[in-house]
Structure 1
Amino acid sequence: MIHIEILTFNPYQENTYVLSDEQQNCIIIDPGMHNLAEENRLKAYIQDNNLRPIALLNTHCHVDHVLGNNFVYETWGLKPQFHEGEIPVWASVQNYAPQMGFRYEPSPLPNTFLHDQQEIELGEHTLKAILAPGHSPAHLCFYVADQHFLIGGDVLFKNSIGRTDLPGGDQATLIKNIKNNIYTLPDQTVVYPGHGPSTTVGYEKNTNPFVRA
C-alpha cells in the first residue's frame, strides 16, 4: 500500500507529495520548498520515517513546482524526471523566479525524460504517467490504478481547473484533456492536486463549473 504524504510549501501553497511503499522506498513529486525551513521540513519527514528516496518527478515545471528540485538533487542525488515538452518552461524559471522574490537554485535537467503512458516503479507498485497539457505545454499526471488515486498537478482542482493564462497554456486544450484523459478514469479516483484539497473524478464530473462530463 502506498502512503501519500502532503507537504504544503511556498507562498503559492503548493502541494508537494511524498509517496512511500512498504519497504520505505519513496518518490518525491513537485518539491516546492522555497526556504531553509521548508527544506528542513521535507528532510526531517524523510529521515524520521526512514525513507529512501528513489525518484524525483515533476508534473510540470512552473516555478512553484520545481523550487526544491536542486535541494533534492544535492541531498539525495536525484535528478528530476518530467516530459521533454516542459523544457521551455523549465528554462524560463531561472529568469523570472528572482523577479517574484524567490531564491532559486536552478533545477538540473533530467538524464531521461518521461513520456505519456510510461510506468514508474515504486517497489511493487506502479505509477502511470498521463499526458494532460493545457495548463503547461506537456503536463503529466501520475495515476496509481490499484489504489484509485491520481497525483494531478495543476490540471484539475476541486470545482476548478488549472489557469491557462501563463505561457504555454491553452484553455481549450486543457478542457479537452480533462474530458479525455482524466474524466475517463474511474469515478472513485481521488485526485490530489498541486494546490488545495483533494477531490474525486466523479465529484468533478458532476459539479465542476468549468468541465462537466
Structure 2
Amino acid sequence: MPVLTFSLGPLETNCHLYQNGTDALIIDPSGHMVDILTEIKNKKLKIQGILLTHLHFDHVYGCAELESFMDTPIMAGKEDIEISDVLISSAVRYGLPKVDEFHPVPLAEGIHKFGSIEVDVRHVPGHSPGSLAYYIKDENIVFTGDVLFYRSIGRSDLPMGDFELLAKSIREKLYTLPENTVVYCGHGPETTIGDERIKNSFVRI
C-alpha cells in the first residue's frame, strides 16, 4: 500500500504517510510521531515533504517534533500561515494541549515535485482560508484534510470558515477529479470522488 494512515492526537486526526519507492511524504503530522518514525526508519524512507492540509491545531501537533530533527520544510497554505496564531491557539480554548511552536513555509497552488513525487496542490478554501488538497495523479489519490470526508464535509462555522466557498471548492477542485480517485480524509475512513459526488448529502454536483 502506498499510503499508511495513523490516527493521532486528542481528536484522532489522520496523519498519512505516502511512499513512492524510498521517497515519502508526511501529510498532517497530527500527534506523537513515534510509530511513523519507526516505519520511516525500518523502510529507510527519505521524507521529501511535510505537507499540511491546513493549520487547525489538531493537524499540527507533531510538527515541532519533526522540525526538531528534520531539515525538510513544513509547508502550508499562505492564507493559513498569515492567521496561524488564531488557528493554532484555539486548542487552548477547547481545553486541549497547547501546540509547540513550529515554522511553516507557504506552498502555492500548482504542480510541485518532491523528489520523485509529483503533487498537484489545490487551494480549497472554506474550512479555513488556506486549506490545501494534495492530488497525486500517478496513484489517483487525493488528501483532502477537513474539506471533504466520507459522506460529510468540513465545518464552516469555525473562525473564517465559509460554507459557500467550501462547497465551491469541493465542486470545482475535488469533484472534477476522476471518479475513481481515492480520497484520504483528515478524519475517518477513505472514500472516492465518485461516491461523494452521488452520496454526499452536503455537497452534490
Please say whether Structure 1 and Structure 2 have the same fold, judged by a TM-score greater than 0.5. Answer: yes
TM range (shorter): over 0.9
2:91 corresponds to 1:121: no
Offset of residue 186 of structure 1? 0.7
Offset of residue 67 of structure 1? 1.1
State the one-letter code of the partner of 1:44: T
CA distance in 1, matches of 2:111, 2:84: 21
Give unpaired runs (5+ residues) of structure 2: none
Structure 2 match to 1:179: 171
Structure 1 match to 2:128: 136
Give unpaired runs (5+ residues) of structure 1: none
Offset of residue 26 of structure 1? 1.3
CA distance in 1, matches of 2:191, 2:89: 34
Offset of residue 101 of structure 1? 2.4
Structure 1 match to 2:96: 101
| TM-score computed with the length of structure 2 as normaliser | 0.93
Structure 2 match to 1:156: 148
CA distance in 1, matches of 2:148, 2:155: 10
| TM-score computed with the length of structure 1 as normaliser | 0.90
Deviations 1:87-135 (A, max 9, x none): 244222553333432142112132xx21112323341x31110111000
State the one-letter code of the partner of 2:50: L
Structure 1 match to 2:54: 60
Deviations 1:1-54 (A, max 9, x none): x811111101211110111111x1211111001xxxx33222212112211212
Structure 2 match to 1:31: 29
RMSD: 1.6
The structure in which a higher percent of residues are helix is 1
| Count of residue pairs brought into register by the alignment | 204
CA distance in 2, matches of 1:109, 1:149: 24
Identity across the alignment (%): 31
Which of 40, 64, 68 in structure 2 is aligned with 1:70? 64
1:128 alignment partner, SS class: strand
Cα gap change, 1:170 to 1:143, in 2 (>3 Å):
same
Cα gap change, 1:117 to 1:197, in 2 (>3 Å):
same
CA distance in 2, matches of 1:174, 1:94: 20
Q: Is the 8 A contact 1:60 1:86 kept in 2?
A: yes
